[in-house]
Amino acid sequence: MPDFRDVGLVLGARRHGENGVILSLFTKQHGRYLGLLRIKTLPLVGSFVEAKWRARLSEHLGNYTCETISALSAAYMEDKHRLAAISSLCTLLDESLPEREPLPDFYEQVCYFLNQLENKNWLMAYIRLEALLLKILGFGLDLTHCAGGGDCQTLAYVSPKTAKAVSQEKGAPYRDKLLILPRFLWQDCEANSDDLRAGLFLTGYFLAQHITLPRTRANLL
């Protein structure tokens, strides 16, 4: 009988019968994993749990037993913007990550972001995490050079067709057809509200081509 123990982030749950839910966890060592949880107390989305999964055969849905480690969502219940970030992130991961594919490095990046929520630059960290998610899914932005052969130190736009960066000079004649690339996505620098808005639009544009964006994402700003 296959089984494992792991730590995981609660991504979502949907009702299954009268006394159970299908629980989706992003686990440290096993990736996104589903299992049936017989409800006593349902962990909040955004909580970290210690989970045990067991099934008769490995290809079966399996059953979870869980113990809550920390309820992150509860800590930000009075902060609608940070709460929206937790909800949006969990929904994005639940909708996009492949099931049962271990992603331990990305898991650590998700944990790093959630630890950054208490800092003032949390939204910048969130947008960078969305950009990393695009890369994990195989749709990463190419911000290493200018697609038009321009100066790679003055990247200012991204092509909506190729997801490749374009320099200020090369992109200027076509700026109405290009997406704005804020500097913080390719350099270590601060971001103002316009930069954050542009960054959210940029990552959201490419994410929306592959999954439905969470409604709570609109509450990030």
State which amino acid sits at residue 138.
G
Q: What is the mean pLDDT of each run of 10 residues along the chain (221 residues)?
A: 91 86 96 91 89 92 93 88 96 97 98 94 97 96 95 96 97 96 96 97 97 95 89
Question: What is the structure's pLDDT at 205?
Answer: 98
Question: What is the structure's pLDDT at 41?
Answer: 72
Question: What is the structure's pLDDT at 65?
Answer: 92
pTM over 0.75: yes
Pairing assessment for the beta strands 31-38 and 63-71 based on DSSP bridges = parallel
Distance CA 100, CA 177 (A): 39
Question: What is the structure's pLDDT at 1?
Answer: 58
Cβ–Cβ < 8 Å for 91, 214: yes
Question: What is the structure's pLDDT at 48?
Answer: 95
| CB-count exposure of residue 15 (10 Å: 0-12, 13-18, 19+) | exposed
Sign of CA dihedral 62, 65, 68, 71: positive
